[in-house]
Amino acid sequence: MSETGVTTNLYDRLGGAAAVDLAVNNFYRKVLVDDRINYFFEGVDMERQAAKQKAFLTFVFGGPNNYTGLDMRKAHTHLVANGLNDSHFDAVVENLGATLRDLGVAEADIAEVAALAETTRNDVLNR
């Protein structure tokens, strides 16, 4: 965060916690109607899932976080066993980009978010 400085911080530019609250509903909706990935979300507790997605969005928005990758790994182990792969990860990032585009976020910022999301790929896919 310090390298970009206070005024140009991605998280603040996106709107901070309020933006995460706004984005999480739209993002989760997109994921649930996307037939490429929605079967991974069958039967999960929606509130708990939304809380996890808020944590994920906070991280990829460059917000304050305690991301270590360990929880991300554990949360996806059983999904990887069921076939979760790069194409599904790409679909999630695509939905993330579309969510931000709907909210009027600039393409450069979307690219920055996608780059942060990219850092979680190996944890998500348990590699």
* Residues of the shown chain interacting with another protein in the complex, contacts defined by CB under 8 A: 17, 20-21, 25, 28-29, 32-33, 46-47, 50-52, 54-55, 58, 63-66, 71
CB of 9 to another protein, least distance (A): 15
d(CA 93, CA 99): 10
Of 29 and 101, CB closest to another protein? 29
Q: How far is the CB of 54 from another protein (least distance, A)?
A: 5
State whether residue 96 is helix, strand or coil: helix
Q: Which of 14, 12, 2, 5 is nearest to 114 (CA)?
A: 14
The secondary structure of residue 54, as a DSSP letter, is H
Residue 62 and residue 3: Cα distance in Å, rounded?
12
Closest to another protein by CB, 69 or 106:
69
CB of residue 125 vs another protein: minimum separation in angstroms? 22
